[in-house]
Amino acid sequence: MERNVILAKNAGFCFGVKRAVDEAIKYQKEFGKKIYTLGPLIHNNDVVNYLEDNDIFAIELSDTNSLNKGDVVLIRSHGVKESVIKDLTDKGLIVKNATCPYVTNIQLKVKKCYEQGYKIIIVGDENHPEVIGINGWCNDSAIITNGKTELENIPAKVCVVSQTTEKKETWNKVLNEIVKESKEIVAFNTICSATDVRQKSVQELSKEADLVFVIGGKNSSNTTKLYEICKKECPKSYHIENVKELDESLLEDESVKTIGITAGASTPDWIINEVISKIKEL
């Protein structure tokens, strides 16, 4: 049966993630030995496995105590607290920083405003490594909200930033709440422009598709948000990590004429292409 398969614009690796992976490969070759990333470099199991095959291994912060002086630790694209970088350097480790420049920009804004007496509000997931890292640049004092519950006791003087992968509607909702309560507000819409474009394109795609596959790690924040957006417009939207999770029975439905494909910022082209090729085979 003839089907139309549409790939969303900006699907797959974003600038920050691609940069982090390229940096990891570069430093491994440069030092010619095993190197370590603080946490999984990106939220994609297939890519993490690929990196391990190239002597690049994810470790937790507590594991750095057992490393030797001169071992190489790479800060991933999500970034870390300011204190973490100092601690690693003090241990005699070689620290290479692959924090996404957009995240670094948020960290520096937060630090500056915090020092100027602003209460920091972060719109995002309090358990996400990017948000945990940003909070560390204001002495872990930020108010963190995902927009699902109303903020209470909002200070009069606030600086508001966002997780780079946050949904624009959540940002707008929280900002509207703050405007009603605070007298002095410095607001930086720090949602990554690529995230914004990606979310808009999948919203349009899911309106015209009969079936949508969102490809990316199940622990990927931005992929999950893309899936949520798609599901609103197209009930037959499915979040899969790779071609192995493609449910072929979904393609037996003759009412499915147009299939939409999108992918999170941590999903490489080869995984996307495998899914598209499989769909076209069936």
Which residue shows structure tokens 């909702």? 173
52 annotated active-site: no
3 state DSSP class of 159: strand
164 marked as part of a ligand binding site: yes
83 marked as part of a ligand binding site: no
Which residue shows structure tokens 């495998």? 274
239 marked as part of a ligand binding site: no
78 marked as part of a ligand binding site: yes
Q: How far is CA 56 from CA 35, 38, 40, 182, 267, in A?
A: 5, 11, 10, 46, 18
141 marked as part of a ligand binding site: no
Determine the distance from the C-alpha atom of residue 80 to the mean position of all C-alpha atoms in its chain, rounded to a whole number: 14
Both structure tokens of 3: 């089907």
Q: What span, in angstroms and rounded, lies between the C-alpha atoms of 128 and 16?
A: 16
Q: Are strands 94-97 and 119-123 parallel, antiparallel or unpaired?
A: unpaired
Q: What span, in angstroms and rounded, lies between the C-alpha atoms of 57 and 34?
A: 8
43 marked as part of a ligand binding site: yes
Options 23, 130, 166, 241, the catalytic residue? 130
* Residue 167: φ, ψ to 5°: -75, 140
219 marked as part of a ligand binding site: no
Q: Residues 276, 58, 87, 26: is their CA dihedral positive or negative? A: negative
- Binding-site positions for dimethylallyl diphosphate read 43, 78, 128, 220-222, 266
Cite the active site residues: 130
Sequence ranges of the binding site = 14, 43, 78, 100, 128, 164, 192, 220-222, 266
